[in-house]
Amino acid sequence: MRLTALAASLVLAAAPLLRADEGMWTFDNVPVKAIQAKYGVALDAAWLKNLQLATLRFPNGTGAFVSRDGLVITNHHVGRDAIAQVSSAKADFVRDGFTAATREQEIKVPGLELMLLVSSEDVTARVNAAVKPGMADKDALTARRNALAELRKAEEAKTGLTCEPVTLYQGGEYWLYRYRKFKDVRLAAAPEVQVASFGGDPDNYTYPRWNLDFALFRVYEDGKPYRPEAFLPFTQTPLKAGDLTVISGHPGVTYRGQTLAQMQYAKEVGIPFQLAYLARQRRALEAYAKVSPEAARVAADAIYSISNGQKRVTGQLMGLSKPESLALVASREADLRGTVARNAGLAATAGASWDRIAEAVARQKALLKEYTCLGTRGSALFGHALTLVRILEEEAKPTAQRLPEYSEGSLKATRERLLNPRPVQMGLDEARLGWALREALEQLGADHPFVKAALGGRTPEAVAQAACAGTRLQDPAFRKQLLEGGREALAAHKDPMLALARVLDPFQRGLQRQWEDQVQSVFAEHGGRIARARFQSYGKSQYPDATFTLRLSWGPVATYDTGSGTKAQPFTTFLGLYDRHTGWGGNAAAAEDGAFTLPERWLQAKGRLALETPFNFAYGCDTVGGNSGSPVVNAKGEFVGINFDSVLEGQGGYYVYDAATKRAVAADARAILESLRKVMNAGHLADEAIGK
């Protein structure tokens, strides 16, 4: 890693209000000149490559190597499902925390796989070459999809890596990303959930915050700790207000490149529908959690995820509801449409694309309810069953005629998901399936053909109970046996979950065909045409929407106006943690469902802690969901914190970026080290993280 001398000692000039920097940039197109011009920092190729090769993708977020012996840091809430998986009623590591005193005590998490991006390649020309002049939108979508699948298959055979096709700029570019996959991942340490998510739902998406939201895992290879090519050592240089920070991670999805019609749909139809859907799902899982203490334990992570989603989507709607948000989108769209109209070539290819997308949005609205309800929706067993019902039948077809996830290029990944040994929580899965069937009944009506066929006059809960009680699909060995038994044997098998999947299959196939032909293919084709028109008009000066692929963002440790005329402090401290705990009445109070209580060992450790140590900080990087667990580094490329949240005011940034409100929140590296040494009996891990 090489940086200019100025970068190594960068301190931004004091300013009353520092603004965030926009963009989630792919590593092949980082605007290094713009960063250097604004901050005086030269991020060279070696610096960027080190950050790339130190950043990992978790199934639902991001992590990073932080030691030469494969130690990995991520958020507690990203790792929470894995922590719960290796817990039990007698040893609840989510509630009580965990520290492996030695590497031999680190606990392997079955089925947990981490991905490391090794390289990427632009295959746009080869993919678009598969589309012949005059092809209908639906045929163009199929042609591009099949071309990507073939490229993926060939690349995996050549490299032995896991390859994923990536669509950028709404179809303006197509890439292949090559990943190294790690399958032996072990839990090394995690604090108690009450500290990791202190403040609970009341404080979620707010700032100031006091969340020690981290967990430590270790990657193993051939039974030994993996030696990564790159890692991010914890900094020994104090982070200060105004210091530049850089973040790498896997932001899940944004919609900033959508048309005005698509954003109006989100505001008026899509988001309100999603909020109602999440509320119903949450009520169902909360009802299950009341069955027993064990049910409450296994359902806690799912309920947390839904609650988090409700707040995030509410913030998105708040952002879209600002008149200036859609006014900005309309203005930019009008400018581009005007440019296209004045260019005969662009007008011929993209002039009608906005209207075509608006027509597809109308079809999206008409299909929304049925498309949402006809699915497996969170039930792992139902999902496995549907895959088994389809996989051998699809394999027998020419690849061009298959469903996308069963094409030659995608089949390997589909099989791996089916045979993944991750355990299934049977009671929770039954509750999810029962809710999915009840949702179909209540939203589609008792006379809907699928509802009639699936329920057969029984209640949704009875159908779910019978299917879960009689199935063996929770056993990965049994799933493998069915897969290897042949098409006829699988079709004849009487497993009740398979029987239920056979009912769903034809209905979902038909609806998926409608969705692809009338909605998805139009969005893909004409979104790509608009993107290419934008490239031709303005150059590739913009970043693509998030796609859960590796991105880089940057910005300073920054305060912001909370909207009441008060500026948020850039850092919080341990002292503030204990103050907030005491201010809510301590552990004796039940206010806000105990969100502000602290575990006993944290109360006992108060006298040992340096209470002035920074705990969380706000900073101006552009982040969304999927960036949870992203490493935050300084200009030297050292780990200074771990991203875990952003503020509610900035959630509109999923659609329209606002520099005044887009703030991310991270747990400070100093708080993590202080806690490891003085509370969690994990000084050996703290030493490892700083390179001792």
Would you say the C-alpha torsion 525, 528, 534, 537 has a positive or negative sign?
A: negative
CB within 8 A of 567, min separation 6: which ones?
A: 17, 559, 560, 561
**Domains of the chain listed by start with CATH number:** 5-113+183-255+545-689 (2.40.10.120)
CB within 8 A of 225, min separation 6: which ones?
A: 69, 70, 103, 218, 219
pLDDT (mean) for 450-465: 97
Q: Which amino acid type is present at position 67? A: S
**With DSSP H G I counted as helix, E B as strand and the rest as coil, what are the percentages for the chain, rounded to 5?**
50, 15, 35
CB 680 within 8 A of CB 191: yes
Q: Smallest Cα–Cα separation from 379: which of 482, 276, 479, 501?
A: 501
Look over the chain and give the mean of its residue pLDDT values, rounded to a whole number: 93
Q: Smallest Cα–Cα separation from 501: which of 381, 377, 392, 386?
A: 386
CB 644 within 8 A of CB 78: no
Phi, psi at 41, each rounded to 5°: -115, 125
| CA 676/CA 234 separation, integer angstroms | 13
Predicted local distance difference test score (pLDDT) of residue 20: 60
CB 141 within 8 A of CB 529: no
pLDDT (mean) for 460-468: 97
Alpha-carbon Rg for the chain in angstroms: 25
| CA 295/CA 254 separation, integer angstroms | 34
Asked whether residue 16 carries a pLDDT value surpassing 70, the answer given is no
| CA 119/CA 617 separation, integer angstroms | 32
Whole-Å CA distances, 624 to 315, 460, 520, 547, 628: 12, 36, 23, 11, 8
| Predicted confidence (pLDDT) per residue in 57-87, tens digit | 999 999 999 999 999 999 999 999 999 999 9
Asked whether residue 11 carries a pLDDT value surpassing 60, the answer given is no
Predicted local distance difference test score (pLDDT) of residue 15: 33
Asked whether residue 5 carries a pLDDT value surpassing 60, the answer given is no
Whole-Å CA distances, 539 to 29, 417, 534, 686: 12, 39, 7, 46
Interior/surface letters 277-310, b for 16+ CB within 10 angstroms, e for the rest: bbeebbebbeebbeeeeebebbbbbbbbbbbbbb
| CA 353/CA 284 separation, integer angstroms | 41
| CA angle (317, 321, 326) in 5-degree steps | 110
Asked whether residue 40 carries a pLDDT value surpassing 60, the answer given is yes
| Predicted confidence (pLDDT) per residue in 95-147, tens digit | 999 999 999 999 999 999 999 999 999 999 999 999 999 999 999 999 999 99
CB neighbours (10 Å) of residue 691?
12
| Predicted confidence (pLDDT) per residue in 591-622, tens digit | 667 899 999 999 999 999 999 999 999 999 99
Counts of helices then strands in the chain (DSSP H, E): 28, 18
Percent of the chain with pLDDT over 90: 88
Asked whether residue 2 carries a pLDDT value surpassing 80, the answer given is no
Percent of the chain with pLDDT over 70: 97
Predicted local distance difference test score (pLDDT) of residue 43: 95
Q: Which residue has the tokens 């051939």?
A: 222
DSSP-derived 3-state class of residue 668:
strand
CB 414 within 8 A of CB 391: yes
| Predicted confidence (pLDDT) per residue in 177-187, tens digit | 999 999 999 99
More confident residue, 400 or 362: 362
| Predicted confidence (pLDDT) per residue in 328-381, tens digit | 999 999 999 999 999 999 999 999 999 999 999 999 999 999 999 998 988 999
Query: Which residues of 581-650 form beta strands (DSSP E)?
Result: 614-619, 631-633, 639-646
| Predicted confidence (pLDDT) per residue in 552-586, tens digit | 999 999 988 877 778 889 999 999 999 999 999 99
Asked whether residue 422 carries a pLDDT value surpassing 80, the answer given is yes
| CA 622/CA 184 separation, integer angstroms | 32
| Predicted confidence (pLDDT) per residue in 249-286, tens digit | 999 999 999 999 999 999 999 999 999 999 999 999 99
pTM for this entry: 0.90
